[in-house]
Amino acid sequence: MEVITNSKTTIKMSNTCQNKLTIKGDLTQLNHFISMIKVEEGQNCEEGEFSLNNLYPLDTSEIEEEDLNDYKSEVWGTSYISNCKYTFKNETEIIISFYSAWAPPKEWLIRIARLYGRLTFKLKYNEPGIGFSGTLILTGNNKNEIFRTSVFIPDFYLWKSKTK
């Protein structure tokens, strides 16, 4: 189990999914997007209170505490993110890197792409523990995904018995 910490929280993640989200568009739209995630450039997203909930709020009033992570995973694709940072690559491109629990927040991003239809979102993700990776590209309602898996097979499964 991996433990990820920052100054405010300690999160225990059984499997972490590495994510790199590149967002392209005009400067006005990018600035609006950044203002909604409420974090300053170079600052840890946790310190700036970035969460998936800022752009896609959930009504958890009817959800039991023990079911909350499952509910978030169902709606967002993951239950939480951590170690998030973003930078402006140039005036038309932002890069946000972060970890998520078990899987990338694809369902969350699909909804966000619809809200910001003039921006292009490219999410590259990799979950080495389970063995999958991919790239999801979204512009408005247009979606393109390349998904890859890698399966680790220990040597002893590949052993072939010799016949006499």
The tens digit of pLDDT for each residue in 97-156 reads 889 988 999 999 999 998 898 999 999 999 988 888 999 999 887 888 777 766 554 444
User: Given this model, what pLDDT does residue 26 score?
Assistant: 92
Predicted local distance difference test score (pLDDT) of residue 161: 44
Please state, in angstroms and rounded to a whole number, the distance separating the CA atoms of residues 48 and 64. 27
- Residue 163: what residue type? T
Does the pLDDT value for residue 27 go beyond 50?
A: yes
Reported confidence tier of residue 40, pLDDT bands at 50, 70, 90: low
Domain 2-158 in CATH 1.10.443.10: no
pTM for the full model?
0.76
The pLDDT value given to residue 14: 58
CB 81 within 8 A of CB 51: yes
The pLDDT of residue 41: 52
Residue 81 has pLDDT above 60, yes or no: yes
Digit-coded pLDDT (tens) for 41-72: 555 555 444 567 778 888 888 999 999 889 98
Contact 52, 76 (CB under 8 A): yes
Q: For residue 52, what pLDDT is reported? A: 78
- Asked which of 22-26, 94-98, 117-121 is least confident by mean pLDDT, the reply is 94-98
Contact 113, 121 (CB under 8 A): yes
Q: Provide the pLDDT for residue 21.
A: 93
